[in-house]
Structure 1
Amino acid sequence: MNAPAIVARRAAAALALGLVSAGVVRAQGPIPTAPPALGKLNALTLPPTTRSTLPNGLRLMVVRKADLPLVDFLLVIRSGAESDPADRGGVATLTADLLDEGTTTRTALDIADQQAYLGVQLGTSAGFDQSTVVLHTPRAQLDSALALFADVVLRPSFAPADFDRLKKDRMTQLLQVKDRGTVIADRVFPAVVYGPEHPYGRPTNGTEASTTSLTRDDVARFYATYYRPNNATLIVVGDVEPAAIAARIAALLGGWSRAAVPGMRRVRPEAAAPSTIHLVDKPGAAQSSLRAGALGAPRSTPDYFPLQVMNTILGGPFTSRLNRTLREEKGYTYGAVSRFEFRRDVGPWLARSEIMTAKTDSALLIVMAELGRIREPVPADELDKARQYLVKQMPEQFETTRDIAARLVPVALYGLPTDYYNRYAERVEAVTAADVQRVARRYIDPRTLQVVIVGDRSKIEAGLAATRVAPIVRRDLEARPVP
């Protein structure tokens, strides 16, 4: 049979299948016009976590999940970009990137080859509050995989050639993102909210200037200062016996030497400024990148659950107020969200969207209106849907060993109680409409809202000024004021 005939036959088969499927749907009755009633909230029950501490101060959290022969290890170092020296931004992330680029006993190629041979996955990263090393391995390769993991953690070489290569790659990345409005907005927003002296006001990957100044000694110093067992927690999830795996870890990591670790540098964010529109010109931009927000709360806040429910209503899922209005009703954007970034210190909250240029001013007015409306009493049905959403999406975040390990990171990092997830549904369900209104009025204050818009100034500035939302300050790509 020739090719056109094959294509025709397949198309006919697909059409027939579609007609049959349509017939089945019709046979089942009319399509519902309303969503089904929400079911009862179900609590999540996780396997117990076995905790212990090695003599050198390394904390262990082990969860046995024996349904599949897999094990995940996740080492959490309780220091990240917030510990970068002010003039050495990006050193924490560069240190993490270099860990698996070579050790005193293995080259980067050796590490990659052994991962492929064993069928394991090894990765490193750093955020504001933490640095991490992760290992995903089949149970059968546990001993060899753990030896590789320990080598990367304990004996990174930071070879000059590897440092120079990754530093060059970092500079290339920083130059590339300067042309992306969404990245520019994400860099300028924290800078104007926190100010230049606060570590949360600087990008985790640093700037061109800070990266240029980084040396191999900076990386080695960061590692020697913060990568200490008494500043770390090792999370283990999978087909292991807690006592047996603790003994294996002690044999491999027990010689890791402890040392005094500097505490987090507490820098007070700049005082909340009056509401301002910070406009960054990007000539020819096809859309405007909008960020609007202010200081939020630390992860330790007792308002955590009310804030989660409130944000779910405002800009969490697809059906949230911001997305429904800006996308579904107005068609100004492909999506709009809001979030609170909970960290060890006070994290930010923000609403964000990418808006068609011609509707930038109209979209800003809608965002302002929704931020004002969330401060009003929330209808009971909307509150219930938000609580249901938060609880019902939780179980899917614990399906795999990797999922569970990732979810235990905030428990290790922020000292959450051991029953945190088992009581999650209970805590969410306890949030009332009064709680939502209280936290909305406390944290979302239009008088101190900082709005960052990156777009074609020649096309959007006049419209933004006409909104009278706030005075406009022009800024460059590094958040510096410009005429």
Structure 2
Amino acid sequence: MTKASCLLVAVALISLTACSPTPNASLPAGVTLIEKVQASDDTLVIPYSKYRLANGLTLIVHEDHSDPLVHVDVTYHVGSSREEPGQSGFAHFFEHMMFQGTEHVADEEHFRLITEAGGTMNGTTSSDRTNYYQTVPVNQLETVLWLESDRMGFLLDAVTQEKFEVQRETVKNERGQRVDNQPYGRLGESVAQALYPPDHPYSWPVIGWMEDLNRVNVNDLKKFFLRWYGPNNATLTVGGDVNSQEVVRLVDKYFGDIPAGPAVSPPTAPEVALDRTRYLSLQDNVHLPLLYIAYPTVEAFHPDEAALDVLMQILGSGRNSLLYQNLVKSQQAVQAQASHGCSELACQFALLALPHPSAGMSLDKMEQAIRDSLQEFEQRGVTQDDLDKIKVEIYTDAIFGLQSVQGKVSQLASYETFLGNPDFIQKQVDRYKSVSKEDVMRVYDKYIKDQPSVVMSIVPAGQPQLAAREDNYQPPVRPQLGPSDTKAEDLSFRTTPKTFDRSVRPKPGPNPAVTLPVYWQDKWANGIEILGTDNPETPTTALLLRVQGGAYQQAPEKAGVAGILAAMLTEDTQLRSSEEMSRALDKLGSSILVSATDESLDVFVNSLSENLPQTLNLLEEFLFMPAFNPDDFDRIKNRAIESVRNAKKNPGYLANEALRELLYGKDSIAGMPRGGTEQSLASISLADVKNYYQTWFKPAEAELILVSDLDKQAIFANLDKMQAWTGSAPDAEPVFGEPVYQPGSIYLVNKDEAAQSAIRIGKRGLKKDFTGEFYRTGLMNFPLGGAFNSRINLNLREDKGYTYGAGSGFGGDSYVGRLTVSADVRADVTVEALKELYGEIRQYAKEGIDKNELAFLRLAINQQDALEYETPYAKLSFLAQILKYDLEPGFVKARARIVDNITAKEINALAEKHLQLDEMVTVIVGDAETLKPKLQELDKPVMDYHLE
């Protein structure tokens, strides 16, 4: 799906009643009601009221009284596409700066206040828009509007050179973590440089070129803000348990006085055309070479976009696609897929493949295989199934999107920003309904067949000969610009009048009453325990089946067998092929996923309730009639091995697995990767998988959790085979090894020329509980590393600019637990960052929590409940833990009492007990040759470490 079509995430069966723009006597002066959409029966739409303030701010209000929460989204119609060459990355930079305090909100206060209110928040930047959003208990709405309005109207005086420098380092760390230190991380920006002309705004990455950020000064950033971040270029969308008139009153109070910025015109889409196919290559620290073919097509909401999406699905989405059948199923490729990513100014149709090393497929042969698949499509054409699948997907995505207020708010905000019309859902669905077979063939002929493309080869470092062809294109060299000389006096500032005291934080009302899911219990004769709850908000059913047989039950020498079994349980059955099963699920709009966790095999089902009988029939066929086809086994096993090899190029994976080995021992099942090692996976046979299935996939002590608008009898009536299922798994506790590290030592894993170092500090901990010492250690850790405003994150990210993020946490399950402190930091400050982490841990263990942190903890933890049970998935997770840990119904209230009554003395005792640095081990993944001499200066043993 394209970005545009994926935006279709919320829908209700209602019809439109629109008002022409008109003032309303009940509205504040200067506020105009643009339209009102009300519920009915015959049109797909989300009900809303749309207003416009005199300063140009668009306000959309959606009332949803199902949960006592509110979601607030502010979307500015500015992304990297509004930037100028030589000034890339500004929009993304401002995403960071907008959290750094304003004239009336102190530094880091935005995160603290939202966390303290029991809410969640973030911001995102794309090529075309930037949005900031919060979900909070409904009594905190005015606080959110106060915060958002202050950074729209009172930001620039608080943007200092010091903050600018710190956030510039944070952005560099973000790029290092997400791009430079990731396998294939530079793929997107490399293709964009070849696909678009140098002055096209999509030719540079959203995060920007670091040399651009290095050359500009704080006044350049302020100039960008003054141009694009006015209320007339923003949409404020509020959804949840609110009253529209009250929202309008508050929005007018906080936003109405903010002056409009310069006029903003919709951007125009420059033509993108290639004169010939451009070949280029990139050497990277990767295990497998990658081939990527990209064609320029249209832009989002273009009349041809929907037909190109259908073409994309036929070629490379799902098990019935041509690329999967021709390349993955035949084991010529580990992965092969298509995509059609659409943005406001351009779309990109892409075909991607990673050759399977055992197939001997070079990238030039892979390119030919992909082009042969295109030729096959020309002969195959389009089937009715192809059209039906995407139409069902559109509809079901819409229904599932109704499950969260955030989904509906995001949908309204996006359509308003890009189309000026929040009521586009029906039109969006109609676009796909109207696609014909002829449309798909027409867009193939126009945009893909014999058209020039960009062909990108990413090859392992030192192996340029693996590229599909010799490079015939080099991106133009970016001009080397000198430092910016923009001065404060060059800027045209706007002043927001202060008609009330904005320094006073709004006082929230009483915490809303939160209703916990009312659940029912049952148990079948075969031993399956069942927990369910009614969810009448959407006509959907979510089901989770948990069966013994997770990674802990594996023999260490066969680690990975549980994951292979999980994958095989959605392959061929004794009655149908996996392609036939996939096609049947697609037509229903249902999904069935099976995964292996440490403790269990988890089967997750999502379905429209009207299609539940057919979906459960397919589920039982998957689970009780697997074919265990040898070809499926070979493909899944080989893919698992390649996945492990590829993961070893990721420093975060290396750090986490090294820590696991040191805590539990290389020969312990807990010390091995959940998915196995290359050696253990290679030793697994199909007989091993069948034996594991016969031994562990049993109903006794299994758990079934249901969240549905149907009653349990209606669901049980379609689970005959599951109720007739019999058998018990062995009664065997997993055996865990002892720690194998020298306490207080540093273990160094080499990754040549790493842009960042991955740091992990840890020790064994308590197994999970919900009201005991484990739960209390989590409270103790909250101010140290459990929130954005924690000591560790504020120090390393906000004060020092060493990292994109750092934190700590106590994790656990039914058997074991551990403490992990983690940070990925700039390579050149590895030792300095490690010293800061050690210092924070020591200080907290010695001095403990302060009174402000304790007050913050109590407010933040106890106000989170309003957000905990909104969606079916959230309810499913809540019920699953009740069943797994045999919790009493009152455990939520018991935990609230613990939070209310826990003392600083108790927290400090827990810190002193669990945070002794000399008991911990440190793992660092980075360039060992550079780091080792510096680490040895810390007066700690430093040992080279190699993963199995």
TM-score (norm 1): 0.90
Alignment correspondent of 1:17: 232
Shift in Å at residue 328 of structure 1?
Answer: 0.3
Instruction: Give the alignment partner of residue 153 of structure 1, picking from 610, 623, 640.
Output: 623
SS in 2 for 1:23: coil
Tell me the residue number matched to 2:862: 391
From 163, 167, 179, the equivalent of 2:649 is 179
- Preserved contact between residue 70 and residue 137 of structure 1 (Cα < 8 Å): yes
After TM superposition, the structure 1 stretch with the greater mean CA deviation from structure 2, 145-154 or 183-192, is 145-154
Q: Deviations over 1:259-287 (max 9, x none)?
A: 24232223353377421100011111111
Task: Specify the alignment match of 1:103 in structure 2.
Answer: 573
Relative to structure 1, is the Cα distance of residues 231 and 458 closer, same or farther in structure 2, using a 3 angstrom cutoff? same
Equivalent residue in structure 1 for 2:694, among 224, 232, 236: 224
User: d(CA) in 1 for partners of 2:919 and 2:780?
Assistant: 19
| Mapped partners of 1:416, 1:192: distance in 2 | 33
Q: Residue 575 of structure 2 aligns to a residue in which SS? A: coil
In structure 1, how many angstroms separate the alpha carbons of the residues matched to 2:855 and 2:922?
30
Q: 2:936 and 2:506 mapped to 1: Cα distance?
A: 45
Return 148-157 or 225-234, whichever deviates more.
148-157
Partner of 2:745: 276
Distance 2:538 2:636 in 1: 36
Match of 1:252 among 721, 725, 749: 721
2:900 to 405, 429, 449: 429
Is the aligned partner of 1:129 residue 2:599?
yes
Correspondence for 1:75? 545
Asked whether the 8 Å contact 1:299–1:414 carries over to 2, the reply is: no
Q: Which amino acid aligns with 1:174?
A: V
Higher-Rg member (1/2): 2
Establish whether residue 162 from structure 1 lines up as the match of residue 632 from structure 2: yes
CA deviation vs aligned residue, 1:289-309 (integer Å, no higher than 9, x gap): 000010011013721321121
What is the deviation of 1:26?
2.7
Letter in 2 for 1:410: Q
Whether 1:90 aligns to 2:560 is yes
Rate the CA distance shift 1:199–1:432 in 2: closer, same or farther, 3 A: farther
Counterpart residue type for residue 915 of structure 2: I
Query: C-alpha separation between the residues in 2 aligned to 1:317 and 1:93?
Result: 32
1:443 pairs with 2:679: no
Supply the AA of the counterpart residue of 2:618: L
The answer to whether 1:401 aligns with 2:878 is no
Q: Distance in 2 between matches of 1:333 and 1:171?
A: 32
Distance 1:462 1:39, change over 3 A: farther
Please say if residues 751 and 928 of structure 2, whose CA atoms lie closer than 8 Å, have aligned partners that are also in contact. Answer: yes
Which stretch has the larger CA shift, 122-131 or 322-331? 122-131
* CA distance in 2 between partners of 1:34 and 1:285 (Å): 47
- Choose which of 356, 369, 374 in structure 1 pairs with 2:839: 369
Q: Are residues 164 and 32 of structure 1, via their aligned partners in 2, closer, same or farther at CA, if it must alter by over 3 Å?
A: farther
Q: Aligned partners of 2:826 and 2:848: how far apart in 1?
A: 31
Partner amino acid, structure 2, of 1:23 = P
User: Following the alignment from structure 1 to structure 2, what is the Cα–Cα distance between the partners of residues 28 and 216?
Assistant: 73
Equivalent in 523, 529, 536 of residue 53 of structure 1: 523
Residues 94-142 of structure 1, C-alpha deviations (whole Å, 9 max, x = no match) = 2112111122222211221111101112111111112200001111111
Shift in CA distance, 150/420, structure 1 to aligned 2, threshold 3 Å: farther
Q: CA deviation at 1:421?
A: 3.5
Asked if structure 1 preserves the Cα contact closer than 8 Å seen for 2:662 and 2:739, the reply is: no
Equivalent-residue separation in structure 1 for 2:663 and 2:507 (angstroms):
42
Tell me, in whole angstroms, the C-alpha distance in 1 between the residues paired with 2:921 and 2:567. Answer: 33
Letter of the 1:194 counterpart: Y
Partner of 2:868, secondary structure, is helix
1:455: Cα distance to partner?
0.3
- Aligned position for 2:732: 263
The partner residue of 2:931 within 455, 460, 471 is 460
DSSP 3-state at the match of 1:317: coil
The runs of 5 or more residues in structure 1 that have no matched partner are 1-6, 479-483
Instruction: Name which of structure 1's ranges 300-309 and 102-111 shifts more when overlaid on structure 2.
Output: 300-309
CA-CA distance at 1:44 after TM superposition: 4.1
- The alignment partner of 1:26 has SS state of coil
TM-score, L = length of structure 2: 0.47
CA drift of 1:21 comes to 8.1
**Partner SS state of residue 231, structure 1:** coil
Quick one: which amino acid aligns to residue 295 of structure 1? R
- Alpha-carbon distance between aligned partners in 1 of 2:507 and 2:579, rounded to the nearest angstrom: 55
Structure 1 match to 2:266 = none
Comparing 97-106 with 166-175, greater Cα deviation is found at 97-106
Larger displacement relative to structure 2 (271-280 or 138-147): 271-280
Offset, 1:151: 1.8
Q: Which residue of 1 is the match for residue 790 of structure 2?
A: 320
Q: Does 1:329 align with 2:565?
A: no
The 8 Å contact of residues 133 and 153 in structure 1, kept in 2 or not, is answered as no
Residues 106/423 of structure 1: CA separation in 2 closer, same or farther (3 Å cut)? farther
Distance in 1 (alpha carbons) for counterparts of 2:906 and 2:515: 26
| Equivalent of 1:205 in 641, 652, 675 | 675
For 1:392 and 1:384, how far apart are their aligned partners in 2? 12
- Shift of the 257–294 alpha-carbon distance from structure 1 to 2, 3 Å rule, reads same
Cα 1:83–1:425 shift into 2, 3 Å: same
Residues 270-279 or 308-317, more deviating: 270-279
Cα distance change of structure 1 residues 461 and 106 upon mapping to structure 2, 3 Å threshold: same
Cα distance change of structure 1 residues 38 and 262 upon mapping to structure 2, 3 Å threshold: farther
**Alignment check: 8 A CA contact 1:230 1:259 kept:** yes
Q: Is the CA contact 2:697–2:729 (under 8 Å) kept in the aligned structure 1?
A: no
Moved more, 135-144 or 265-274: 265-274
| Secondary structure of the structure 1 residue equivalent to 2:525 | coil
Q: Could you tell me which amino acid in structure 1 is paired with residue 755 of structure 2? A: A
Q: 1:35 to 1:372 in 2, by over 3 A?
A: farther
Match in the other structure for 2:182? none
C-alpha separation in 2, matches of 1:345 and 1:389:
29
The share of aligned pairs that are identical, in percent, is 27
Q: State the alpha-carbon separation in 1 of the partners of residues 892 and 620 from structure 2.
A: 30
Is there any run of 5+ residues in structure 2 with no aligned partner, and where? 1-81, 83-127, 130-226, 235-255, 261-494
Q: Which has the higher helix share?
A: 1
The match for 1:4 is: none
Among 485, 496, 506, the alignment partner of 1:26 is 496
Residue 305 in structure 1 maps to residue 775 in structure 2: yes
User: Is contact 2:669–2:735 with CA below 8 Å preserved after alignment?
Assistant: no
Secondary structure of the residue that 1:398 maps to in structure 2? Answer: coil
**Contact 2:517/2:869 (8 A) holds in 1:** no
Contact kept in structure 2, 1:84 and 1:91, CA below 8 Å: yes
Report what 1:3 is aligned to: none
CA distance in 2, matches of 1:377, 1:398: 33
- The worse-fitting range, judged by mean Cα deviation, of 266-275 and 24-33 is 24-33
Quick one: which of 808, 815, 818 aligns to 1:345? 815
Q: Which residue of 1 is the match for residue 202 of structure 2?
A: none
| 2:259 partner amino acid | G
Q: 2:936 and 2:773 mapped to 1: Cα distance?
A: 35
